[in-house]
Amino acid sequence: MSTPTMVQSESFADRLKTETRPQHDAAERHELQRALLKGALPQARFVALVGQLMLVHRALASAIRGALESDPILAAMWREAYDQSPRMARDLAHFGVDPDGVTPTPATTAFIDRIGQWAGAAPASLLGPLYVLEGSTNGARYIARAARQAYPVGADDAGVTHLDPYGERQPEEWADFRARLNALDLDEATQRAIVDAARETFNAIGAIGDDVLTARAGSTLFD
């Protein structure tokens, strides 16, 4: 009689982390992220970045909300708290920017279009961008510390609330997100599509960072 061997397969949350590690490493090395972490990114570019990410969050949240009724996978994962766009809008207002007047850069427009394609063709793929944006709260806490020193933040954290939405609860919130990811019953094709969408999301955030870094004075980014 053979002894049954336990084949411990990697959890889906671990798979996402492992298979997007090169993209995360590249994101961390991006000149804009390095400047942010050092508190060396000029305020106008920081604010411009928040505006672009607000548009991305809005687009993703609305695509997911639109698919909740028909897609049980998204319904199992989604929490309204993942939509950082209301916090981002308030943070922009703190810096004197009208959130309704933000216009997308080319990279933002391209990524919002991509979100629309996923929503239409393969809604579960939206878990890829959701994973990247929600997972970014891990590093954003460190960026929040630098930003509080670098920019005129309000007493109630106004200006940077989107960088530290959970405060001390962040590790538990992330553990909960991972646990719920692991509880999903996903076939291989769907897992693959989500990992690919996560990789694309890292690349898109990098391209948006490029737009924000290279915009010149007078650009609509700084209106």
Interface residues with ligand HEM (CB under 6 A) are 16-17, 24, 27-28, 33, 37, 131-132, 135-136, 138-139, 142, 202, 205
Question: Can you tell me the distance from the alpha carbon of 27 to that of 114, in angstroms, rounded to the nearest whole number?
Answer: 19
Q: Between residues 99 and 209, which has the closer beta carbon with respect to ligand HEM?
A: 209
Question: Can you tell me the distance from the alpha carbon of 128 to that of 201, in angstroms, rounded to the nearest whole number?
Answer: 7
Contact 147, 159 (CB under 8 A): yes
Q: How far is the CB of 216 from ligand HEM (least distance, A)?
A: 23
Q: Which stretch of DSSP H or E encloses residue 165? A: none
Q: Between residues 37 and 44, which has the closer beta carbon with respect to ligand HEM?
A: 37
Helices 188-214, 43-67: crossing angle, 10 deg rounding? 150
Question: Can you tell me the distance from the alpha carbon of 1 to that of 9, in angstroms, rounded to the nearest whole number?
Answer: 24
Task: Let me know how long the chain is.
Answer: 223
Q: Between residues 24 and 162, which has the closer beta carbon with respect to ligand HEM?
A: 24
Q: Between residues 35 and 154, which has the closer beta carbon with respect to ligand HEM?
A: 35
Q: How far is the CB of 14 from ligand HEM (least distance, A)?
A: 8
Q: How far is the CB of 159 from ligand HEM (least distance, A)?
A: 18
Q: How far is the CB of 108 from ligand HEM (least distance, A)?
A: 13
User: Which two three-digit tokens encode residue 214?
Assistant: 């290279």
